[in-house]
Every structure is written in C-alpha cells, then in structure tokens.
Amino acid sequence: MKFHTKAIHAGHKHDKAAGAHATPIFQTSTFVFDSAEQGARRFEGTEEGYIYSRLGNPNMSELEEKMAALENGGAAISTGSGMAAISTVLLSQLRAGDHMIAGDALYGCTNSLMTHVLPRFNIETTFVNTSDLSSIEKAIKGNTKVIYVETPANPTMQVTDIKAVSEIARKHGAILVVDNTFMTPYLQKPLDLGADIVVHSATKYIGGHGDVVAGIIVGSKEVIMNMKFPYFKDFGGITSPFDAWLLVRGLKTLPARVDIHCKNAKIVVDYLVNHPAISDVYFPGLKDHPQHEIAKKQATDFGSMIAFELKGGIEAGKTLMNNVNMIALAVSLGCVDSLIQHPASMTHSPVAKEDRLRAGITDGLVRLSVGIENVEDIIADLDQALSQI
C-alpha cells in the first residue's frame, strides 16, 4: 500500500461484534477471559489477546499499527503525551553511568528532562549543534549510548542530516533517536534514513485538530517489544482509548492536511521575507537556509513551521502577537488552524537563558505554525497585525 492508503487502512480491523464500519471506542479498563486457563495463557504470552488496557487495547493497537506502517517501522507504542514517549525512550535505553548527545535546540521540556531529571539517575547529556557533524564526533565518549535530535529543530528550524548522524551513532555503538514531530512520516522517514527510534508529539500534526495530547514511539519490533516489556508496562503512560481513536481519525487525513500546510507555509514565507518589519526568516525551504540541501535530500517537503525575527525585536514581536485576530496566540503546532507564539517566554522558557541564546533561540524569535485556512486569510491577519508595529 502507498502512503495515503496506509494512512486510511493500515491497522484497521472490521468490527466482528456489530459490523461497525468505523472502529468502535473500546472504553474499557479490562478484558474478560473465557477461563482461568485462558487468562494464564494471555499472561504467559502463549495466546494473543487483550488483558488490561495499560498493556494494550484495540484502539491503541490500531493507532500503533498505523503509525508503524507509516514510519516503515516494525511496531509502535502509543503514549499519553510526546513527553511520555520521550521519557519512556530515554529511561528504557539508558542506565546510570551512561552518556547521551542531544541537539542544542530542542523542545523546552525535552531539554529540561535531559538537564534536570536524567542527571538525578546519573545520566549525562552533552548538548551540541547537531547540524555540525564534527561537534557530534567530538562529544562522543566511551559511554555514549544515545544521540537524540529534532530535525527541523524546535524552534530554530535548524536541520540535522539523519543519515550522517546515524552512521556516527552506529560507528560508536550508540543508537539514534529522532523527534519527527515537525515533519511527520508523510514528509520524512527517519527509520529509512538509519535512525533506530522515532518519537512524536502526536498532539501536533498526527492528531491535527488540536483536541488531543498524545505521543508515539516507533522502531523495529525487537526494540519496541523490549521497551514495552518491562519499561512501558511499568511506567504506564498510555493513550486513552478515546484519544487513540481521535488520532486514528486524524491520521486518515494526514497527507491531505500536510499538503495544504506545506503549500500555505511557502506562500506565507514569501510574504514574510519581503515584509519591511521582518529581519530574518528561518524555514528549511528557503534557498539560503544553511541546511536547505540536506532538508531537500531527506524530506519530501519542508513542513509548515516558520520562525522569524522582527527588526523591532521582542517589543515588535509582542505587538504582532497581541494583534492577530484569526491566528491564535497559543503554544502547540500542527493544528488545522494557524498558531503563533514566543518561544523564549513560552515553549522554551524551561531552558536556561545562556543555553537558549547559544542555540539561537533569541528573545526576539517568533514561531508560527501555518494552518490550512485559506492562505489569503492567514496573510491578511499577519498583515494587519504587522502594520500596527
């Protein structure tokens, strides 16, 4: 099956009980066994079937099978948030005394997990500019077990060469974990490029409608099964059946939505680069973006996340954000509607100021998630707000 078809059909099983065309919501915490012997076989793993929704549920299975198919992975785990996915991956792949390397521009709570939480378990992170392969090589230590990247990075839009970094990881006996939230599997498939594990904030483009918080982990069947039992089973950060159902529904239109997101973003970027109030626009689709060629090579389009700076700095940025009408002043991204926010004081406020500035997340940076409204309306709203500066 090709991508659009998989987005609709992968993981779907016709409901045998009532013949429902759409998957029913299995809003149940536990599952009934036919006999004590059957219950024992399910626990032993000698018979397939559901036991208890923290260990699996038909709605979660459909979502996991669909995401594994879309990312070209062997299996997946759906989680209660993107952070539940990221913390599950890191706490299952690393142990006390291990070292990891991560991009210096990352979603704020991912940075905070590595800076504040993992050191309590004696897991150390070195943050480097992962677009620069030599800084990754230099940061490698004998105990480096994980390299972790977001590409494009939130919010700088810096791009990392997944294939090249996967080769470095393999050479040094580490694994590569890629946060594919900004691109989605429709545009970029990190596992095909050599990554070992993909994580998503499914809250974003996967759900697509801004009505669910969830996450996904995808990898080979072996990696995912070793992560699920015992780690994920014991951490317990699952997706609820209803949220899994919403995500399955969202995924069916992922390619259709992302096509419009990408088309709109390019038109908005053209508008922004020509606006006299704007000094810099960061978008991998721009020919002068430092990693434009890598972005072109490893993804089929450039997504709809844009970061930019105004000539008037943060004060001008605040005027813009306080005067948009249709565009929502809100964190999150990848929704059908356009969202604008200020990383330094919002999504990236957990990051220490000096680390934030070193990574290029300046006080004046504004992040825009371009939605799928008519692009003329997005531009008209930006235009009226920018004219108030």
Ligand X SMILES: Cc1ncc(COP(=O)(O)O)c(C=O)c1O
Q: Which residues are catalytic?
A: 54, 107, 179, 204
Cis-peptide into 230, omega within 30 deg: yes
Q: How far is the CB of 110 from ligand X (least distance, A)?
A: 6
We find the least distance from the C-beta atom of residue 106 to ligand X, in angstroms, to be 7
Q: Mask of contacts with ligand X, 297-326, x by CB under 6 A?
A: ------------------------------
- Binders of ligand X among residues 206 to 225 (CB under 6 A) are 213, 215
Contact status: 150 vs ligand X (CB under 6 A): yes
Give the CA count within 13 Å in the CB-facing half-sphere of 187: 26
From 67-75, 78-86, 114-122, 243-251, give the range in contact with ligand X by CB under 6 A: 78-86
Contact region with ligand X (CB under 6 A), list: 46-54, 79-87, 240-248, 311-319: 79-87
82 in contact with ligand X (CB under 6 A): yes
Q: Which is nearer to ligand X, 257 or 367 (CB)?
A: 367
Work out whether strand 175-179 and strand 144-150 pair parallel, antiparallel, or are unpaired: parallel
Closest CB to ligand X: residue number: 82
| Contact present, 353 and 359 (Cβ < 8 Å) | no
Instruction: Output the CA–CA distances (angstroms, integers) from residue 30 to 49, 98, 242, 377, in the order listed.
Output: 12, 37, 15, 48
Provide the token pair at 256: 């259709």
Residues in region 113-132 near ligand X by CB under 6 A: none
88 binds ligand X (CB under 6 A): no
Establish if 185 lies at the interface with ligand X (CB under 6 A): no
Beta strands in 269-381 (DSSP E): 278-282, 305-310, 328-329, 339-341, 365-369
Given the complex with ligand X, which of 42 and 342 has the nearer CB atom?
Answer: 342
Q: What are the distances in angstroms from CA 50 to CA 32, 33, 161, 258, 263?
A: 9, 9, 40, 34, 42
Report the amino acid identity of residue 362: T
Q: Classify residue 276 as exposed, middle or buried by CB count within 10 Å of its CB (0-12, 13-18, 19+).
A: exposed
- Look at residues 32, 86, 30, 8 and name the one whose alpha carbon lies nearest to residue 256: 8
| Residues 216 and 330: beta-carbon distance below 8 Å | no
Residue choice 75, 76, 83, 351 for contact with ligand X (CB under 6 A):
83
Using the rule CB under 6 A, is 201 a contact of ligand X? yes
Which CB sits closer to ligand X, 169 or 333? 333
Residue 152 CB, nearest approach to ligand X (Å):
9
Q: Least separation, in Å, of the C-beta of 72 and ligand X?
A: 20
Per CB under 6 A, residues contacting ligand X are: 81-83, 107, 110, 150, 154, 179, 181, 201, 203, 213, 215
